[in-house]
Amino acid sequence: MIKFLIKGLLRDKSRSRVPIIVVAVGVMLTVFMNAYITGFMGDTIEMNARFSHGHLKVMTRAYAENMSQIPNDLALMNVEELLDELNEKMPRVLWAPRIQFGGLVDAPDELGETRSQGPAMGMGIDLLSGKTNEAERLNMEKSLVRGRMIQNPGESLLSEEFSQKLNVNPGDEVTLIGSTMNGAMTMYNFKVVGTVSFGTEAMDRGTIIADIEDAREALDMYDAAGELFGFLEEGFYDDEKAILLAEQFNMNYEGDSDDYTPVMKALSQQGSMGQYVTMADVWTIYISTIFVLAMALVLWNAGLLGGLRRYGEFGVRLAMGEEKSHVYRTLIYESVFIGIAGTVVGTAVGLGFAALVQKYGIDISGMMEGASMMFPTSIRTRITPTDYYIGFIPGLLSTVIGTMLAGIGIYKRKTSQLFKELEV
């Protein structure tokens, strides 16, 4: 009987083509929107990861306990050796050393005397080695306001607001006055080659960016780094995977009580980010559930209307002696076939669109005049395992339930009403 029903659906396009298209469109929208919502809710997590926390972060044990103070005197040593170890044990994680520091930026006049100065937060980032892709990760080129990117040693970038406050333009020189890793005073000259916008008042008010090798030289931190940022190769934060990797790494140093022993933390284990990760997951589920229920109601009604339109056909079949229970079962079987076919097609198309947007993104830089580092310039989806089966809820379940409700009318057919329909 099943073979007969499938053959009937294939031959009668009016019973299969439109219902399958309706189901496929509904499932496609469900799958794509779930991937979009997941990507949208993860944007803030990713921006925090890129700038402040990484998907994973390696520090010394003492540095981790005082992380908010940025204690470079407790920084990691022999970083190259540690990076080799991490790359060997975690080949699917991309690592980048960084140094955060504070100091006073002095802008001299033509005679070399102080013209203006202000406190600044500094970032030493790997921009010249070409191994870590940090400039792209931090969206630096698109955030340039004036000048160009760092291309040579001894060059730096200032936040645009800070440069205007100091009356410094690209091409001018500034001096960083601060303290080294060992507590000594340091003065290091930088040539300002460009200005950037971060989009947050705290960073725009006073930030200087330099290549990490210049920061090491200025702070006497040769082969050292305050933090090693790790980013999962997939490009998205996976909390379970990150925590597992951190636990595996920390087990190697479990018996070591030295304050300078390296320790790894996942993003959710740093500060209040754990609460935000949980909140983002919960809101993703809420929003996706509401959309899935909305699409389920649409396809439920589609199945209901499809069954109601065929009451004339059911009357003919009952007049020919077919049992009501058999008509009802065949109607449900047909809706199952249509639901499965529409769901498979819709899921495939939805995943295809989501994969394209995940890879290439939707460029919204034109809508963000003066885009900054802290805000993404493209919208991206994120495909998760849920996207492979979530379409079956509205596509199959709702379609079948709608058809079942419409089919109940079969048992209410009366002979007098049947003959009246046949006369028409």
DSSP 40-89: HHHHHHHHHIIIII-SEEEEEHHHHHTGGG--GGG-BSSHHHHHHHHHHH
Q: How many CA atoms lie within 13 A of 82 on its CB side?
A: 27
Q: Between 395 and 309, where is the model more confident? A: 395
Coil/strand/helix, residue 401: helix
Quick one: what percent of the chain has pLDDT higher than 90? 31
- Give the pLDDT band (50/70/90) at residue 244: very high
Calculate mean pLDDT across residues 261-285.
83
User: Tell me: the pLDDT tens digits for 66-96?
Assistant: 887 888 889 999 999 999 999 998 988 999 9
pLDDT, the chain, mean: 81
Q: Cα–Cα distance between 331 and 407 in angstroms, integer?
A: 7
For 179, list phi and psi in degrees, rounded to 5: -125, 145
Kindly tell me if the per-residue pLDDT of 408 is higher than 90: no
Please name every residue paired with 59 in a beta bridge, in sequence order, or none if there are none: 263
Kindly tell me if the per-residue pLDDT of 167 is higher than 70: yes
Dihedral sign of CA atoms 181, 187, 191, 196 in order = positive
Please name every residue paired with 178 in a beta bridge, in sequence order, or none if there are none: 186
Quick one: what percent of the chain has pLDDT higher than 70? 82
Residue 7's pLDDT is what? Answer: 55
Kindly tell me if the per-residue pLDDT of 369 is higher than 60: no
How far, in Å, are 21, 194, 355 from residue 347 at the CA level?
A: 12, 47, 12
Looking at residue 414, its amino acid is: K
Q: Which residue, chain included where needed, has tokens 């979530």?
A: 390
User: Tell me: the pLDDT tens digits for 306-346?
Assistant: 655 665 666 666 666 667 677 777 777 777 888 888 888 89
